[in-house]
Structure 1
Amino acid sequence: MQAPRQLRKQMIDTARLLHERGWVANHDGNLTVRLGANRFLATPTATSKRLVDDGNLIEVDAAGKRLAGTARPFSEFNLHRCIYERRSDVGAVLHAHPPKATAIACSAENPIERPFIAEAVVSIGPRIPKVPFAAPGPDAAAAVAPFATEVDAVLLGNHGVLAWGADLELAYLRLELVEHLATIALAALPLGGPQPLPEAALPKLLQARARAGLGQAADAATQHAHAYAAAPRQSASESASGGGRDDLVRVIREELVRALAGEESR
């Protein structure tokens, strides 16, 4: 079984977009998409994301063993697997080194852990934690695993960013949002740092996140959540021009309005 042509194109476009935006250098970063219970589409190791194409994409099993293609699998697949094992709703995982978010990942402080913009709570979760540094391998996966069901993106200490979502588009948009938040936070540091949202605001925002189907999809998730997670989306390259991003922004805006309306009626 080969991944559908459109999915392979989306993987190639996203990999190249990461390179174009300066979020990966050298052979950095990796992308995977879940194809089935024990099959994943993946970018190859030792290849610039600028050079990813249909000829070097591979398919691997849950152990990271190559099933199709000729390139070698990347060594950090265990990070991706630890998310897939804990999140049946996740269809794609991205790892990259966007400079500003990675600067925070390499620093003593984490000014983006506590949310300071409501949209970030709806899209990613109650916080953006920094996972302690661990060498690639089982230790790195064990460090990430506790956060897999709480949020949809983490900073990897002294490393970069890991983001995931129902599909490649959502995973990419969350990675983009983490870098955007890092940019804002670093700009705010000379002014005393970003002001976190009030703790009392988080429950309503997390309810909006659940209604939008943007968090973990439990067995009892609403039909609306499943419908949104399953809806076809544009590629990340189309998102850069506004298409896919508009879809996510619309859903987040609707849920924020609903959450705020609920507060005003109390």
Structure 2
Amino acid sequence: MSEGFVPLPKLRADVVSTSHRLHANGWVANHDGNVSVRLKGERFLITCTAVSKRDIDDASLLVVDPQGKVLEGRRKPFGELDLHLAVYRGRPEAQVVLHAHPPVATAFGLVGQELSPIALPEMVVSLGDRVPTLQRAMPKDPEGAKRVESAASEYDAFLLSGNGVITLGEDLTQALLRMELVEHYAKILMAARSLGTVQPLAPADVQKLLEARKKAGLGPRR
């Protein structure tokens, strides 16, 4: 997705719709969560701060530059814009970044656990062989942004200890589906662990799935 492929008015409407979906799915509360999209000319369309994702509308959207300076819009950028910009630096082909707090996946991050093992083939094809959890960082911590940039270069989704989940994608739908899959798998892992030991996929099977993932054009382009 980019401004060149999707008319800007539709793109803005899709950002509003995605924000509403995050709220309707129960993945954000209060002023949590944010959405950003890469535009042409090193600009980014983003949601604003201090507005529930349920209430985001066209007037809530901003356009900012790579330093976070507001180029268009009347509101203020959200406070964790540095994390989104870090993703875009780490993954040049990423067009969308979502940050939300889906409850079960966020709980994994709070206790410092990653979503492991990746035991379903669908997870490997869609997200790779790992959904890691990054070390806790306070807001505006440059080291936290560096860790996000590094993770984005390798992974399509990752947990932030104490700060929810980040997913990225080529368009809003892909990033949203990845957020959905992360939370769904977190629920499955939670249930499976209550029943017994989760058996990981065999390494040879993981490798075949990763090859299928690459052939599908998924994952980092390197």
TM-score normalised by L of structure 1 = 0.78
Q: Once the two structures are superposed, what CA deviation does each residue of 1:14-66 show, in whole Å capped at 9, x if it has no partner?
A: 10011011100000001100002410000000110011001111111111111
Q: Does residue 1:115 correspond to 2:118, yes or no?
A: yes
Tell which deviates more after alignment, 139-148 or 28-37.
139-148
Q: Does residue 1:124 correspond to 2:117, yes or no?
A: no
| Rounded Cα–Cα distance in structure 2 between residues aligned with 1:104 and 1:115 | 14
Tell which deviates more after alignment, 178-187 or 35-44.
35-44
8 Å CA contact 1:92–1:168 kept in 2: the answer is yes
The structure showing larger relative contact order (alpha-carbon pairs under 8 Å, at least 6 residues apart) is: 2
Structure 1: runs of 5+ lacking an equivalent: 219-266
Question: What are the equivalent positions in structure 2 for 1:1-266 lying under 5 Å apart?
Answer: 4-110=8-114, 112-137=115-140, 138-218=142-222
Identity %: 47
Q: Secondary structure at the match of 2:10?
A: helix
* Deviation (angstroms), 1:108: 4.1
8 Å CA contact 2:46–2:62 kept in 1: the answer is yes
| Rounded Cα–Cα distance in structure 2 between residues aligned with 1:25 and 1:181 | 21
Q: Quick one: which amino acid aligns to residue 135 of structure 1?
A: M
| Rounded Cα–Cα distance in structure 1 between residues aligned with 2:129 and 2:41 | 29
The runs of 4+ residues in structure 1 deviating greater than 4 Å are none
Tell which deviates more after alignment, 189-198 or 151-160.
189-198
Q: Once the two structures are superposed, what CA deviation does each residue of 1:206-229 show, in whole Å capped at 9, x if it has no partner?
A: 1111111111234xxxxxxxxxxx
8 Å CA contact 2:34–2:47 kept in 1: the answer is yes
| Rounded Cα–Cα distance in structure 2 between residues aligned with 1:84 and 1:210 | 21
8 Å CA contact 1:125–1:150 kept in 2: the answer is no
* Deviation (angstroms), 1:193: 4.0
8 Å CA contact 2:110–2:162 kept in 1: the answer is yes
The structure with the largest helix share of the pair is 1
| Rounded Cα–Cα distance in structure 2 between residues aligned with 1:204 and 1:66 | 45
Residue 172 to residue 68, structure 1, CA distance change in 2 (3 Å): same
RMSD: 1.6
The structure whose Rg is larger is 1
| Rounded Cα–Cα distance in structure 2 between residues aligned with 1:53 and 1:159 | 24
Q: Quick one: which amino acid aligns to residue 73 of structure 1?
A: P
